[in-house]
Structure 1
Amino acid sequence: MRPERGHSYKTRVRHRAHPCGMSQYDNRLPHGMHVVHDGPPQAPPVLLIHGSGASGASWNRVVPALAEHRRVLRVDLPGCGKSPPTPSYDVPLQAGRLAALLDDLGLRSVTVAGHSSGGYVATALAERRPDLVGGLALVSTGPNLDALLPQPVILRLLLAPPFGPLLWPRRTDAMLRKAIAATAAGPLEVPAEMIDDVRDISYRSFRTVARGNTAYLAERGVPERLAALTVPVLVLFGAADPRWEPASAHRYEAVPNARLELLPGVGHLPPLEAPGPTGESLLRFTARDADLPAVGPET
């Protein structure tokens, strides 16, 4: 089979109308991951990684602006969204799966953006395979374990023993919306596709992912890891994040080649709460070293 629409690997791609436009869905589940492609195939590539208990759908509101001038890839990490579960969710292993995907696609110098704990996977990818990563964008990614704030009550009930295992199979759409919105700074309309994807995540998968994230941070904080790299870094942080101490974002200022942008009035979910400013920041970042269109003023 010949590669379709600029793809460099053999696969079957189906096209379907989507809120983000005409997306391409890879039926092959490369390396166990559901992958969605948007934008011009030959444009500079951007890889979007979701956080724990989420899916690639968490980026949906940001994709239309990005896909006008960038090749955008969204993945559902194993055990999340439309991707099947796997025995291990350790952060370095997740990064290895993404590296294999980018190798299959023949992509290099990719701008890799991770939301929340997706930023740990993005950082681990840059640590393992710096040849693949041209820039790192960390969105609401906590720097160290001591910056973590107490969880909202509904999240503690759903996620932690003893109630978590009992409530998880009984989650309603209303409960899921309330749990997701609890990490925003204000009222939030949660996309139906995101609710559908979150509902399909198993309790075991979520808890195992959470343990992997904790282990990664306990070994070494993100700013310390980034300081050992030479890749340009953009850090986006909601100034009203209820999951991580917002002031902890300033720890990233000690990282060479890092730029910090605080989003006023935004909580833990910039791609949902402030898709416009989030997309503009990502576009400016991807255009930093090339003659590419960017949106919005520098701040």
Structure 2
Amino acid sequence: MTSTDTVPSTVPASRSEQTVSLPDGDLHVTDEGPRGAPALLLVHGSVSSGRSWDQVAPSLAARYRVVRADLLGHGRSAKPADASYTVPDQARRLAEVLDRLGIGSVLVVGHSSGGIVATALAELRPGLVRALALVDTGPSLGSYLDPPAGGLAPGHWPPTDDELRAAARTALASDDVPVPDVLVEDARRMELASLGAITAATTAYLADEPLPDRLAPLGKPLLVLFGELDRRWAPASADDYAVVPGATVTLLAGVGHSPILENPARTAAILLDFADAVERVG
């Protein structure tokens, strides 16, 4: 399939926003693209939401069915203080959303900690996940650069918008790159209890076993995309994924931790090429 091919579809393209009610909390879900096309699931990072994919999703949805869900505790989804925010539970909820939508096979794309949830989904439901793409997802705790928490420090809540922008700045290539309003708005929606639980759960999952060791035995096609100027995870750590058979590692010049915001056109093109390759192999 070339970049100009169209994925066959028997159902016209559409876009819907809906709330999917699950036993432990409601999730906000965006579903767009041709309903008969192969499905992509886009998973956002911590202190973010499905809206972080807004500049990438339309290009993908021209040929694929694209599903985005705000993880529990994020965005427009519920934020119960007493819920389990473990990475496997977040992955389980995504699987339940896909089941509700009648999607039996999906290519999962995760940004930052969204790639950790994507990995857990592949572990939990290997028959559901046909391939994975990880965008600036650190392979292990040792690759984390530990940027300052700024206004998101647990002892200082709620932060001001200026403090939120300062905390979000390390998600971009440099302090000179403007912080998109969507990052501030999504951070503003977070609640301290769920934020702390989500952060602890992500750390625990990585501490238990690095992502490359989890992915290697699964035998799934894997794309690892990393900004060369990432200030949150060491870009050189992308090479750690080489232990995964058949993994493709691509470094993007001129961008930092958030290629989906800093260079969405290039990011979308790379993801489309990968998705097309996966479909060719079948």
TM-score, normalization: structure 1? 0.84
In structure 2, what is the Cα distance between the partners aligned to 1:291 and 1:235? 19
Aligned-partner residue type, residue 152 of structure 2: L
Offset, 1:44: 1.2
In structure 2, what is the Cα distance between the partners aligned to 1:273 and 1:104? 33
Aligned-partner residue type, residue 240 of structure 2: R
Asked if 1:224 is matched to 2:213, the reply is yes
Aligned-partner residue type, residue 118 of structure 1: G
Aligned equivalent of 1:207: 196
Aligned-partner residue type, residue 268 of structure 2: G
Q: How does 1:228-247 map to 2 (within 5 A)?
A: 228-247=217-236
Aligned equivalent of 2:240: 251
Contact 1:148 1:243 in 2 (8 A): yes
SS of the residue corresponding to residue 234 of structure 1 reads strand
Task: Specify which of 182, 185, 194 is matched with residue 170 of structure 2.
Answer: 182
Offset, 1:29: 4.2
Q: How does 1:288-299 map to 2 (within 5 A)?
A: 288-290=277-279
Aligned equivalent of 1:77: 71
Contact 1:271 1:278 in 2 (8 A): yes
Asked if 1:113 is matched to 2:109, the reply is yes
Q: Residues 64 and 190 (structure 1 numbering): CA distance in 2 closer, same or farther, change over 3 Å?
A: farther
Aligned equivalent of 2:99: 103
Aligned equivalent of 1:66: 60
Contact 1:165 1:203 in 2 (8 A): no
Q: Which runs of 5+ in 1 are unaligned?
A: 7-20, 293-299
SS of the residue corresponding to residue 247 of structure 1 reads helix
Contact 2:131 2:278 in 1 (8 A): no
Aligned-partner residue type, residue 107 of structure 2: T
Aligned equivalent of 2:6: none
Contact 2:172 2:257 in 1 (8 A): yes
Q: Residues 41 and 100 (structure 1 numbering): CA distance in 2 closer, same or farther, change over 3 Å?
A: same
In structure 1, what is the Cα distance between the partners aligned to 2:263 and 2:63? 20
* CA RMSD across the alignment: 2.1
- List per-residue Cα deviations over 1:200-254 (Å, max 9, x = no partner): 1012211111110111011100000011111101100111111111111101112
Aligned equivalent of 2:38: 44
In structure 1, what is the Cα distance between the partners aligned to 2:170 and 2:186? 18
In structure 1, what is the Cα distance between the partners aligned to 2:100 and 2:209? 30
Aligned-partner residue type, residue 129 of structure 2: V
Asked if 1:26 is matched to 2:21, the reply is no
Contact 2:19 2:27 in 1 (8 A): no
Aligned pair count reads 267
In structure 2, what is the Cα distance between the partners aligned to 1:257 and 1:147? 22
SS of the residue corresponding to residue 223 of structure 2 reads strand
In structure 2, what is the Cα distance between the partners aligned to 1:185 and 1:275? 14
- List per-residue Cα deviations over 1:76-117 (Å, max 9, x = no partner): 000100001131110011111111111112212201011101
SS of the residue corresponding to residue 47 of structure 1 reads strand
Q: Which runs of 5+ in 2 are unaligned?
A: 1-9
Contact 1:55 1:198 in 2 (8 A): no
Offset, 1:64: 1.4
In structure 1, what is the Cα distance between the partners aligned to 2:20 and 2:211? 33
Offset, 1:290: 2.9
- List per-residue Cα deviations over 1:129-165 (Å, max 9, x = no partner): 011111101111000111111313xx2x3233xxx33
